Amino acid sequence: MELYTCKNCINQFEGHFCNVCGQKPAHRLDIKHVLHEAIHVFTHADKGIFTFIRKVITHPGTMALEYVEGKRKKYFNPFQYLILIVGVTAFAISKSRVMEDTIGAITTQKGSARVIQFQHLVEGLFQKYFNIVLFTMIPFYAFFSKIFFRSKGYNYAENIVLQCYIQAQQNTIFATVYLAAYFLRSQFGGTPFMIFLLITGIILNGIACKQFFKVSLLQGILKTILVYICLEVVIIALTMIITFLYLTITKH
């Protein structure tokens, strides 16, 4: 029988599970494994969520790298945590109403009644389905991340894992801000807040890329900006297509 070295606790063992920590022999991540882990969160729960929160705020890239390298039982399940924290963020956004002012800052009241109606429709859908929008964006983030960091040799599934940790970090931070605004009865939003979110997101993403890909902070931030630009192009293109279809359909 083949002898394995556990990636999680460095114990050597034979069989299908480590006899010390219970982890299976680690293999390179693929889409099948990522989907299995995502489904796994609905039927199992692990310990250490508070340790996970403390670590993911400061070292999301390091945690993602450890997960990719095989240490998959060291912390709380990242997919389970992401689902939980995105739910908290969506709740905090709805209570603080900050998203209404933020989205309102980038929409216009000029144009036909149908255009304005569509803008309000998009605003409402974004607030209502914030979690779905975020989860939909993760594969796009991972795709462009894989392109700009292709020299590092990480596959698409491994980039998805990195983006899940990054989103876990950012949603933890932003959910705290939104909830604080709600309980302190503070009101903020609009263009300045949108700029703050953008700059903060780029910096946090750049730091995570530095930790994961082992590049300089400057390189991590610059390539993060490229990822954001490409993603924005995709969003604009999709928005234009959807707007055109909506206006065409409602015209008749």
**The residue to which tokens 């698409």 are assigned:** 156
Which of 178, 135, 142 is CA-nearest to residue 162? 142
Task: Report the pLDDT value the prediction gives residue 144, as an integer from 0 to 100.
Answer: 96
- The count of other CB atoms within 10 Å of the CB of residue 130 is 18
User: Which is nearest to 5 in space by CA: 73, 18, 29, 33?
Assistant: 18
One digit per residue, the tens of pLDDT, for the chain of length 252 reads 678 888 888 888 888 888 888 888 877 888 887 887 776 655 554 456 778 888 999 999 999 999 999 888 778 888 989 999 998 888 888 777 666 666 555 555 555 566 666 666 666 666 677 788 889 899 999 999 999 999 999 999 999 999 999 999 999 998 888 888 777 766 666 677 778 888 999 999 999 999 999 999 999 999 999 999 999 898 888 877 877 776 677 765
DSSP assignment, residue 19?
Answer: T
What's the confidence (pLDDT) of residue 171? 94
pLDDT score at 251: 67
Per the CB < 8 A criterion, the answer to whether 63 and 165 are in contact is: yes
Q: In this predicted model, what pLDDT tens digit does every residue of 138-182 receive, in sequence order?
A: 999 999 999 999 999 999 999 999 999 999 999 999 888 888 877
CB 176 within 8 A of CB 85: no
- Domain ranges in the chain? 28-251
Q: Could you give the 3-state DSSP secondary structure of residue 189? A: coil
Burial degree of 190 (CB within 10 A; 0-12, 13-18, 19+)? middle
pLDDT of residue 98: 67
- 167 close to 75: Cβ distance less than 8 angstroms: no
- In the block, which residue shows the tokens 């959807």? 242
Answer yes or no: are the C-beta atoms of 227 and 144 closer than 8 Å: yes
* Separation between Cα atoms, residue 142 and residue 198, nearest integer Å: 18
How far is CA 217 from its chain centroid? 20
